[in-house]
């Protein structure tokens, strides 16, 4: 199947082709025809499956057919996403898809000035991509003309629930015309999501891709059993143990944890930045841009901050802190192994996480193999100095070879000269030659 076989407008098909979209992904193949028919659709798909194009292309196609007619600009499509980064990313996609049309779009989210956003909301755009918090603030201030809106998309609905956004969404939806098309996307279909569906959608069709508890098939998943006092030094030694760790997202559970770890890795002269909800929009965007453009090797993030970010070519996801729930695990490891590339998901498991591990393995219906890092002293007691208590440059444990500042400089140099993504994929497939084929 290719994109020409959908009844999408020529302008949208051409823009998608320019962006390298030739063959639709399974969610696109199934959702696009239904959305084009005007149905309300529930899309159950993990991150990285191409869901943004699945909901954008058909609606933009319908809107672009109208945009040829000389009607004044008004808001026709609203996309609500849980985080600024995701809203920004969807907006970037929409702009690419709209390049041969007269459609105008705008993003509305917190952390930046609202001036341009107000203009966009007040008849300056056909499509708005918004986070619930900023949008509701602007609506309360009297902005936004929604009376002619035709399409609503609620993205990452399960995460909206986790983040407590439902009351905001409810208030927003009250402002919208009842006769509209509503699409709801979610990585998981929990009873709470089902409840939302009943509230916001009308006789929806469900499009589900893959087993909802089955993580992306292209990801190799392993665990390392490490106690909390050893996690920092274990992480550092693990990353330094191989050049395969060229693009790593490390997940911490809390903002404070992400910050502490990010600072410790920086202190250890690793090429790292950290993002969490209390960092400014500029800091978050810079870190993500640098990571995406391969200027940065390691990104430490909380679940919320990393939510939905489309970062290609991530070599490893490391669950430094065990995910709070099974869905978070699926979301986290969905950052790697995207677009059918191989990827590795590593989870640190301490003795206090064993019960959660049991639950996770039941959920994903597989036992995660345990690996050990050669030369690491897993028996080191908590009283022994660890990376948290040592000064940078003297963090290796008693069983590891001692490292001089020169060692770090040498490492730094290697990372600066990291291979380009295309070379990496080749070298990764070579290095992965002994692995079982994925997918
Ligand atoms: P998403 O799940 O929407 O975040 O998409 C994941 C990544 O896959 C993004 O980088 C998209 O640009 C890319 N992508 C989505 N659909 C296609 C397609 N049909 N062909 C090629 N790339 C795609």
List pLDDT tens digits, range 256-302.
Answer: 999 999 999 999 999 999 998 888 888 888 998 999 888 999 999 99
Cβ burial of 60 (10 Å; 0-12, 13-18, 19+) is buried
Residue 330 has a pLDDT of 82
**In 3-state terms, what secondary structure has residue 238?**
helix
Is residue 67 in contact with ligand 1, taking CB distance under 6 Å? Answer: no
Residues 6+ apart with CB under 8 A from 5: none
Query: Counting Cβ atoms within 10 Å, is residue 402 exposed (0-12), middle (13-18) or buried (19+)?
Result: exposed
Give the model's pLDDT for residue 439: 24
pLDDT in tens, 412-430: 333 333 333 444 444 333 3
Per DSSP, helices labelled H in 293-398 are: 303-306, 326-333, 354-364
Distance in angstroms (rounded) separating the CA atoms of residues 117 and 252:
32
Regarding the beta carbon of 17 and ligand 1, being less than 6 Å apart is answered: no
Domains 3-208 and 219-431 share a fold: yes
Between the CA of 352 and the centroid of ligand 1 the distance, in Å, is: 37
Residue 45 region by backbone torsions, left for phi larger than 0, else alpha for psi between -120 and 50, else beta: beta
Pick from 113, 102, 103: which is nearest to 77 by CA? 103
In this model, does residue 401 exceed pLDDT 70?
A: no
pLDDT tens figures, 317-369: 999 999 988 878 887 887 776 555 668 999 999 999 999 999 999 888 789 99
One-character DSSP codes across 243-278: TT-SSEEEE-SSHHHHHHHHHHHHHTT--EEEE-TT
Other residues' Cβ atoms within 10 Å of the Cβ of residue 225: 18
Q: Which residue out of 28, 52, 156 has the highest number of ligand 1 atoms within 8 Å of its CB and is therefore the one to mutate?
A: 52
pLDDT digits 0-9 by tens, 90-133:
999 999 999 999 999 999 999 888 989 999 999 889 999 999 99
Is any atom of ligand 1 closer than 6 Å to the C-beta of 53? yes
CA 382 – ligand 1 centroid, Å: 45
| Statement: residue 33 has pLDDT above 80 | yes
- Mean pLDDT computed over every residue of the chain: 83
Task: Return the CATH fold of 3-208.
Answer: Rossmann fold (3.40.50)
Which pLDDT score, from 0 to 100, does residue 314 have? 84
Q: Using one digit for the tens of pLDDT, what is the confidence trace for 176-186?
A: 999 999 999 99
**From the alpha carbon of 47, which atom of ligand 1 is closest?**
2
CATH of 219-431, one of 3.40.50.300, 1.10.10.10, 3.90.1170.50, 3.40.50.720: 3.40.50.300
Q: What's the length of the chain?
A: 439
**Which residue's alpha carbon is at the smallest distance from atom 14 of ligand 1?**
50
CA 177 to chain centre: 30
Domain boundaries, the chain: 3-208, 219-431
pLDDT tens, residue by residue, 184-203: 999 888 888 888 899 999 99
Question: What is the tens place of the pLDDT at every residue in 159-171?
Answer: 888 888 999 999 9
**Residue % of the chain over a pLDDT of 90:** 56
The answer to whether residues 302 and 249 touch, using CB atoms and an 8 Å cutoff, is no
Report pLDDT for 312: 62
What pLDDT does residue 272 have?
A: 96
């Amino acid at each position: 199947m290719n994109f020409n076989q959908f009844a999408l407008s020529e302008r949208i098909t051409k823009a998608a082709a320019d962006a390298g979209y030739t063959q639709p992904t399974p969610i696109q193949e199934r959702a696009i025809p239904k959305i084009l028919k005007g149905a309300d659709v529930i899309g159950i798909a993990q991150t990285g499956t191409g869901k943004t194009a699945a909901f954008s292309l058909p609606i933009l196609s319908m809107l672009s057919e109208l945009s040829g007619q000389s009607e004044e600009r008004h808001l026709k499509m609203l996309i609500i996403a849980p985080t600024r980064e995701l809203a920004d990313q969807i907006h970037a996609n929409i702009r690419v898809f709209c390049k041969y049309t007269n459609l105008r779009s705008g993003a509305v989210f917190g952390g930046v000035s609202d001036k341009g956003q107000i203009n966009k909301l007040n008849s300056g755009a056909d499509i708005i991509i918004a986070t619930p918090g900023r949008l509701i603030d602007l609506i309360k201030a009297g902005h936004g003309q929604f009376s002619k809106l035709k399409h609503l998309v609620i993205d990452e609905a399960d995460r909206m629930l986790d983040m407590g956004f439902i009351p905001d969404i409810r208030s927003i939806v009250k402002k919208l015309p009842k006769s509209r098309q509503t699409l709801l996307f979610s990585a998981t279909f929990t009873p709470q999501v089902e409840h939302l569906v009943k509230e916001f959608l009308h006789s929806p069709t469900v499009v589900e891709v893959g087993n909802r508890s089955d993580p992306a098939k292209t990801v190799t998943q392993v665990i390392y059993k490490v106690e909390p006092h050893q996690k920092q030094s274990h992480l550092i030694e693990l990353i330094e143990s191989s050049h395969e760790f060229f693009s790593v997202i490390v997940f911490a559970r809390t903002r404070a944890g992400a910050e502490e770890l990010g600072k410790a890795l920086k202190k250890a002269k690793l090429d790292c930045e950290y993002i969490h909800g209390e960092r400014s929009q500029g800091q978050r965007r810079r870190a993500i841009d640098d990571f995406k453009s391969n200027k940065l090797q390691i990104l430490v993030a909380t679940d919320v901050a990393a939510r939905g970010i489309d970062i290609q070519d991530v070599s490893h996801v490391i669950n430094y802190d065990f995910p709070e729930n099974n869905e978070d695990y699926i979301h986290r490891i969905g950052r790697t192994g995207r677009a059918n590339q191989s990827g590795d998901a590593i989870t640190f498991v301490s003795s206090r996480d064993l019960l959660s591990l049991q639950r996770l393995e039941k959920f994903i219906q597989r036992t995660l193999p345990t690996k050990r890092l050669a030369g690491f002293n897993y028996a080191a007691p908590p009283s022994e100095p660890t990376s948290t208590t040592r000064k940078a440059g003297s963090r290796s444990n008693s069983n590891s070879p001692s490292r001089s500042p020169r060692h770090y400089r040498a490492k730094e140099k290697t990372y600066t000269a990291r291979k380009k993504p295309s070379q990496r994929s080749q070298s990764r497939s070579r290095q992965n030659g002994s692995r079982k084929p994925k997918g």
